[in-house]
Amino acid sequence: MAEQRRPLVAGNWKMNGCVADLDEIAAIRDHVASGAAGIAEVAVCPPATLLMAAARLCADSALRLGGQDCHAAPNGAHTGDIAAEMLKDAGASYVIVGHSERRADHAETDADVRAKAAAALRAGLSVILCVGESRAEHEAGEALAKVGAQLAQSLPEGIPADRLVIAYEPIWAIGTGVTPTRGHIAAMHGFLRDELRHHVAGSADAVRLLYGGSVKPGNADELLNASNVDGTLVGGASLKAEEFLPIMQFYSNR
Ligand code: PEP
């Protein structure tokens, strides 16, 4: 029998947000406290500059925080980089690794992503691993092959299932307003669930599979109802509490 997975609604703020925007995190925290997300866990991944202040706001709150990237090393001569241990120290519970924008902007390979995921585990963080195919790969019918290869090559061997979240984010859906069909998402997530059985320690049924890419209040019901979807990674619509709230509320009546 499949394990019960607690859904996760996570916001990726990317390179957005200054001190004034901590008000949004406080508002999200208050929505979580009021039960707006129902059974779901909620997390926000702000820029690293806001992490400690956000952690102070979220002390005694169920709202979780995450980093958006980490270096593979625990410390050292890596100007501008942030270690997983630093994210943990600042109050993060999660770190996103392998986001397509990091892969594109910083030429990150699957091997880099795997090292970052291992670093996150070493530091005591849970991993949100992003995978997803390009538009050209999608149109060529290569989505499953691409994502399967990313999964195999980006996961540290024997990663504990309960410390892993996979975010399926087709690159062509990120920030574009274009979304896959529910059938496409269900097929991909079913494939991911099967593939995970070869890669994780513990039950693959414990791994949460998020869909990400242009999730908005108006399409959350359609997208998150796909089978094997255990939540969402939200970019643009997570920046304002009032836009993030209706997405969180998808889980309030379940
Ligand atoms: C993302 O970048 O993780 C993402 C899902 O972005 P958006 O929701 O803006 O498409």
**What domains, with CATH codes, occur in the chain?**
78-208 (3.20.20.70)
Q: Calculate the average pLDDT of the chain.
A: 96
Quote the ligand 1 centre to 175 CA distance (angstroms): 6
Top mutation candidate among 8, 9, 12 for ligand 1, by most atoms within 8 Å of CB:
12
Give the pLDDT confidence score for residue 224 in this predicted structure: 97
Is residue 16 scored above 50 in pLDDT? Answer: yes
Give the pLDDT confidence score for residue 9 in this predicted structure: 98
Looking at residue 225, its amino acid is N
Give the pLDDT confidence score for residue 99 in this predicted structure: 98
For the stretch 31-67, pLDDT in tens is 999 999 999 999 999 999 999 999 999 999 999 999 9
For the stretch 174-184, pLDDT in tens is 999 999 999 99
Is residue 3 scored above 70 in pLDDT? Answer: no
Q: Which residues contact 130 (CB under 8 A, 6 or more apart)?
A: 96, 97, 98, 99, 100, 167, 169, 212, 233
Query: Out of 24, 31, 71, 99, which one is annotated catalytic?
Result: 99
For the stretch 186-231, pLDDT in tens is 999 999 999 999 999 889 999 999 999 999 999 999 999 999 999 9
Tell me, yes or no, if 142 is annotated catalytic: no
Top mutation candidate among 233, 238, 243 for ligand 1, by most atoms within 8 Å of CB:
233
Q: Which residue owns the Cα nearest ligand 1 atom 3?
A: 235
> Could you tell me the pLDDT band of residue 254, with boundaries at 50, 70 and 90?
confident
Contact in structure between 70 and 120 (CB atoms under 8 Å): yes
Is residue 74 scored above 90 in pLDDT? Answer: yes
For the stretch 136-158, pLDDT in tens is 999 999 999 999 999 999 999 99
Query: Which atom of ligand 1 approaches the CA of 215 most closely?
Result: 8
CB-side neighbour CA atoms (13 Å) of 133? 20
For the stretch 110-133, pLDDT in tens is 999 999 999 999 999 999 999 999
Q: Which residue owns the Cα nearest ligand 1 atom 8?
A: 235
Quote the ligand 1 centre to 134 CA distance (angstroms): 14
pTM recorded for the entire structure: 0.97
Is residue 253 scored above 90 in pLDDT? Answer: no
Tell me, yes or no, if 99 is annotated catalytic: yes
Q: How many CB atoms lie within 10 A of CB 221?
A: 11
Is residue 1 scored above 80 in pLDDT? Answer: no
Query: Out of 41, 133, 137, 169, which one is annotated catalytic?
Result: 169
Contact in structure between 220 and 250 (CB atoms under 8 Å): yes
Coil/strand/helix, residue 81: coil
Quote the ligand 1 centre to 174 CA distance (angstroms): 5
